[in-house]
Amino acid sequence: MGTSRERTQTVQVKNSRQNQQQGEKLQPRLFSARRFSGFRPITAIAAVVLIAVLVIVVVIPVAYVFYGATRSGTIGDPQTHFSWEPLATLLSSTYLVSFAGTILIGLLVATFSVIFGGIFAWLLTRTDMPFKKFFEIVVIAPLLLSPFIGAIAWLTLAAPNSGMINVLAENLGIAGPIVDITQPAGTIFVMCLYFLPYAYLFTSASLKNMDPVYEEASYMAGKSVLRTVFTVTLPLVRPALVSSFFLIAILSLGVFSIPAVLGGRTGFQPVAVLVYRAVEANSNFALASAIGVGVVALALVGTILYRWALRSSNRFTTITARGFRPRQMRIGWLKVPALVASFGYLALAIVLPNIALVIISLTPYTQTDVTNLTFTLEHWQAILDNRYAMMAFGNTMVVGLIAPTITIAIALLVSYIVERTKWRIRRVVDFVAVIPVAIPGIVFATGFIWAYVTTPIYATIWILIFAFVGSYIPHATRVINASFVQIDPALEEAARVNGAGHARVLSRITAPLAMPAVLSGWILVFLLVIRDVNTAIMLYSPRATILPVVTWNFVADGDVRSAAVVGLIETIILILVVVLARIIFRVRLTSVVGREMK
Amino acid sequence: MTTIETINMAPEGATKSPAVEIRGLEVRYGAVVAVPELNLVVEEGDLVTLLGPSGCGKTTTLRCIAGLESPSGGEIRIHGDLVADGSWQMPPERRNVNMVFQTYAVWPHMSVLDNVAFGLRGQFPRSEVKDRAAEALKLVGLSGFEKRYGTELSGGQQQRVALARAVVTEPRVLLYDEPLSNLDAALREQMRFELRELHDRIGKTGIYVTHDQSESMVMSDKVVLMQDGRIVQEGRPRELYEEPRTAFAARFLGTANMWTGRVREQIGENSYVVELDNDALPCTVTCAGEARSRPGDRGTIAVRAERVTLADPGNPPSATAGTSSWQGRITRAAYLGSKYEYHVLVGDRSVRVEAPSRAVFEVDQDVLVHLSADAPVWIPGDAESR
């Protein structure tokens, strides 16, 4: 028996030698990169597919944003040539004012979000405030709601004349509109409601990961709780505060939906709205791309600052394996303002907007007497009978299933190549996979139009799917990466020495171990896709439209009631998916949005 | 530079190619050189330990053999087949080696049987896969645990699963990466012998990495002591302990007193009287190894703490020729159960002594410190560190 085994061994050895030599010749040097050679075909196929997808959904569209910004004419014009003209247009006062205002709005939104998000994080992780578990969900729940629908709700609540709050005030004899959401301050307010959770998640993650031993050492040194907060806790979470500040500032640059809904056509127009107007009004895609290049330049500056802050936050974060429960500071009478703020946020971000949407979707006309409302289901019936809306519903479901699935599959491959192989191409893959962070969806979409207007995917749901995959690869990759960090590489190495190639290691070891993150990541991307209007608004076509676009079109036509109905349908889908994920896959809400922040 | 030293234990070794042959191995991470140049030959059937402090390159070397790390230069051969050189590397899954990991790396999402069978799937028919895996589990004493999951096992049991998984693929070389360091002390001592016994039963070539000197002595036929990515000394465990060739080797294996000094006179073919630095204390040394020195040469004396004997000055034993005898005073005494550990002040020099627990001395007691001529080891050379 011993001898026969030896013989099989030598035969195996010989075969593998031959394979290597063949493999070495067949494989492109890019992959073998003087390190590993002898790919199995499936590994090579996966790598080629990954690169093809990244090129199609990221590299080409991004390149076309810059291409489009330097064209003398718009898409389809055969006479176009290279020109600085679209970019030069940006130097006119209209655009300069718009850029300055957008930056100001971004900085203000980031400031307020970080202050309030940071306070919530501290209250919910370090104090004895009541109902903490409940408020933890309240503070992150707005991430799952569509800011666009929130903006519609606030328009119905606080529009200067017809807004419910103003109508109610008038009935009570208070003169004039008491709130006006259509001012830039209104835009800042609604943006803050929806960006505050980002600041909260960054800061609370930092606080939760912070070993309380630092704070305890401060108490031992005789410092009071408040002095400890300012001399120890705050400096240690400062990187988290700074990085969330820049992230929020970048994200706010690309928000089209909130100012477009609230500001209308007359008020201040932030740059994201100008991109849309350039296309909507004049089909001037070159100008749209040029404005986009300006936004990308700003976002790049923000991204560099963000990554810089994030790196120092990783340096500061002291992750300990042991579970610990930080000392709960007794805040006494401060509980009262803390609770007022928490319930206030609950009311402003979640309760009031949804009540407003429900009321408006169920009432036939604007009614002044809130105590005696007339209800009707006619708007709901109309939407359910609207073939266009129902088609959009079907498309939304299809896009919502396909886009996250492709995105997560790509993210798994990206993370595996970047984190677990030594292929030279991994640095390129890593870089390409983060590019979309700095490209707001509405700008990214102009690149897709320039690149794919002549291809068969244009005007189908596939261009939407491609754009979503491209937009959300960075989010999914972050989620998967965070889970890879927690997988002991020895588990994969053990599979390698047991004879498994890369493909088998990924499918049998890494992916199953990362399954909780895969599910959370899928749901995160699903939520982002379902609520996205910034990308879809540029890429939809009559046959290939999705629910957020339908909502937008109702708003644009002044039919807020129908918009409210579609918006509520979207919200119901979002909630259903989160609840189903919790029941079927035991994926928690906190883990869906929390993982990305790691 | 390290010289290649092959200690042939297999008589037919000259005709067969060695199990593992490493020539000029170099591993760099950017500007950091983990292994500058390493040469090592492991004969078939041997169990060789790479021993050294953390960061000495022992794990890096092991991982290069496994294919989990990329050498920057040099070459590695397994059974004569080239598996890696500076520009090319055979992927680990093709090398037919297997490894027991420090963290066990038992896959938590698979049952014990699936863990062990992983490397066999696709290689053999289904029923044979199961039979072979079951056989391997029987070998490590885990029959009946097939359906359990990794997380439901104790550390020692996970260790056995890892071992079964490594042997079941019948690797050409078995690699052990500090497999016992995550176990608690009592279990670790028990597992040493068990692991050695299992390894002997399998009869494979093995390379074992550890930073624990006593573990290396139990586990291996040959110990390779490493420091800063270089091999300092290699040999049988007893050779390394009894005849350290560098101060580092003397210090790393066991407790040694180290004193620098200068040869005063040569009194025999291999015997010297050495004058210790600072207080010019004379010490007689008889070298067993190949160290050659002449009067005036500098070097280091290494004396194992257990080779120093203490005596009551009121009742001195009859001195034999070549025994160095010094006056001293006990400054510290610690009872360790099987032995006493003393610190004895001789002049301004603190001497560490391990004595059997029946010989009791009190702190502040005057004692005679005896060193027989064959107790100290003379390490020529000025450098204290190497």
With beta carbons under 8 A apart, name residues in chain B contacting A19: 94
Write out the two tokens for A209.
């990961």
Is B91 in contact with A501 (Cβ distance < 8 A)? yes
The rounded radius of gyration (Å) of the Cα atoms in chain A is 26
Contact predicate B126/B115, CB 8 Å:
no
Q: Is the pLDDT of residue B155 over 90?
A: no
Among A114-118, A513-517, B320-324, name the one with the lowest average pLDDT: B320-324
With beta carbons under 8 A apart, name residues in chain A contacting B181: none
Amino acid at A6: E
Best mutation target among A11, A498, A506 (most B Cβ atoms within 10 Å) is A498
Longest dimension (CA), chain B: 80
pLDDT at A445 (0 to 100): 93
Token pair 């001592």: residue: B189
Q: Would you place residue A371 in the very low, low, confident or very high pLDDT band (cuts 50, 70, 90)?
A: low
Is A422 in contact with B70 (Cβ distance < 8 A)? yes
Q: Would you place residue A415 in the very low, low, confident or very high pLDDT band (cuts 50, 70, 90)?
A: very high
B88 touches chain A (CB under 8 A): yes
Task: Write the secondary structure of A156-210 as one string of H (helix), E (strand) and C (coil).
Answer: HHHCCCCCHHHHHHHHCCCCCCCCCCCCHHHHHHHHHHHHHHHHHHHHHHHHHHC
Mean pLDDT over residues A390-401, rounded?
94
Q: Would you place residue A554 in the very low, low, confident or very high pLDDT band (cuts 50, 70, 90)?
A: very high
Best mutation target among A17, A24, A493, A497 (most B Cβ atoms within 10 Å) is A497
Amino acid at A245: F
With beta carbons under 8 A apart, name residues in chain B contacting A488: 103, 105
Q: How far is CA B240 from CA A354, B43, B235, B247, B250, in A?
A: 79, 19, 6, 12, 8
Mean pLDDT over residues A315-342, rounded?
70
Q: Is the pLDDT of residue A598 over 60?
A: no
Is A508 in contact with B118 (Cβ distance < 8 A)? yes
Contact predicate B57/B217, CB 8 Å:
no
Longest dimension (CA), chain A: 102
Q: Is the pLDDT of residue A319 over 60?
A: no
Contact predicate B384/B300, CB 8 Å:
yes
Quote the minimal CA–CA distance from A435 to chain B in Å. Answer: 27
The pTM assigned to this predicted structure is 0.79
Quote helix, strand, coil % in chain A, to nearest 5. 75, 0, 25
Q: How far is CA A219 from CA A207, A235, A322, in A?
A: 17, 16, 21
β pairing state of B324-335 and B47-51: unpaired
B29 touches chain A (CB under 8 A): no
Distance CA A555, CA A564 (A): 9
What pLDDT digit, counting tens, does each position of B3-15 carry? 444 444 444 444 5
pLDDT at B14 (0 to 100): 47
Quote the minimal CA–CA distance from B161 to chain A in Å. Answer: 12
The rounded radius of gyration (Å) of the Cα atoms in chain B is 25
Closest partner residue to A9 among B67, B96, B118, by Cβ?
A: B96
Contact predicate B203/B191, CB 8 Å:
no
Neighbours of B3 (CB within 10 A): 6
Quote the minimal CA–CA distance from A491 to chain B in Å. Answer: 5
A501 touches chain B (CB under 8 A): yes
pLDDT at A369 (0 to 100): 62
What pLDDT digit, counting tens, does each position of B169-193 carry? 999 999 999 998 888 888 888 888 8
Is A488 in contact with B108 (Cβ distance < 8 A)? no
pLDDT at A367 (0 to 100): 64
Write out the two tokens for B96.
């037919």
Who's near A451: CB < 8 A, 6+ residues apart?
A60, A61, A63, A64
Among A12-26, A175-189, A484-498, A565-579, name the one with the lowest average pLDDT: A12-26
Cα angle: A385, vertex A391, A395; to 5 degrees: 145
Is A494 in contact with B94 (Cβ distance < 8 A)? no
Q: Would you place residue A315 in the very low, low, confident or very high pLDDT band (cuts 50, 70, 90)?
A: low
From B169, which residue of chain A is nearest by alpha-carbon distance? A498
What pLDDT digit, counting tens, does each position of A242-295 carry? 888 998 999 899 898 999 999 876 778 899 999 998 888 878 888 889 999 999
| Residue among A468, A597, A481, A457 nearest A541 (CA) | A457
pLDDT at A103 (0 to 100): 94
Contact predicate A520/A592, CB 8 Å:
yes
* Residue B273 phi, psi (nearest 5): -105, 125
What pLDDT digit, counting tens, does each position of A162-213 carry? 888 888 888 888 877 888 888 889 999 999 999 999 899 888 888 877 777 7
What pLDDT digit, counting tens, does each position of B224-270 carry? 999 999 999 999 999 888 888 888 898 888 878 888 888 888 887 77
Q: Is the pLDDT of residue A596 over 60?
A: no
Mean pLDDT over residues A362-366, rounded?
78
Three-state DSSP class for B80? coil
Contact predicate A116/A135, CB 8 Å:
no
pLDDT at A531 (0 to 100): 86
Q: Please give the share of chain A, as a percent, with pLDDT higher than 70.
A: 87
Output A568 or A177, whichever has higher pLDDT. Answer: A568
Is B99 in contact with A509 (Cβ distance < 8 A)? no
With beta carbons under 8 A apart, name residues in chain B contacting A518: none
Q: Please give the share of chain A, as a percent, with pLDDT higher than 90.
A: 37
Distance CA A310, CA A308 (A): 5
Q: Would you place residue A145 in the very low, low, confident or very high pLDDT band (cuts 50, 70, 90)?
A: confident
pLDDT at A213 (0 to 100): 75
Q: Is the pLDDT of residue A391 over 80?
A: yes
The pLDDT mean for chain A works out to 83
Among A110-114, A352-356, A529-533, name the one with the lowest average pLDDT: A529-533
* Residue A32 phi, psi (nearest 5): -70, -35
Is A497 in contact with B66 (Cβ distance < 8 A)? yes
The pLDDT mean for chain B works out to 86
Mean pLDDT over residues A305-329, rounded?
62
Output A173 or A20, whichever has higher pLDDT. Answer: A173
What pLDDT digit, counting tens, does each position of B335-351 carry? 888 888 999 999 888 99
Q: Would you place residue B382 in the very low, low, confident or very high pLDDT band (cuts 50, 70, 90)?
A: low
pLDDT at A6 (0 to 100): 38
From A40, which residue of chain B is nearest by alpha-carbon distance? B91
Closest partner residue to B91 among A34, A38, A508, by Cβ?
A: A38
Output A104 or B12, whichever has higher pLDDT. Answer: A104
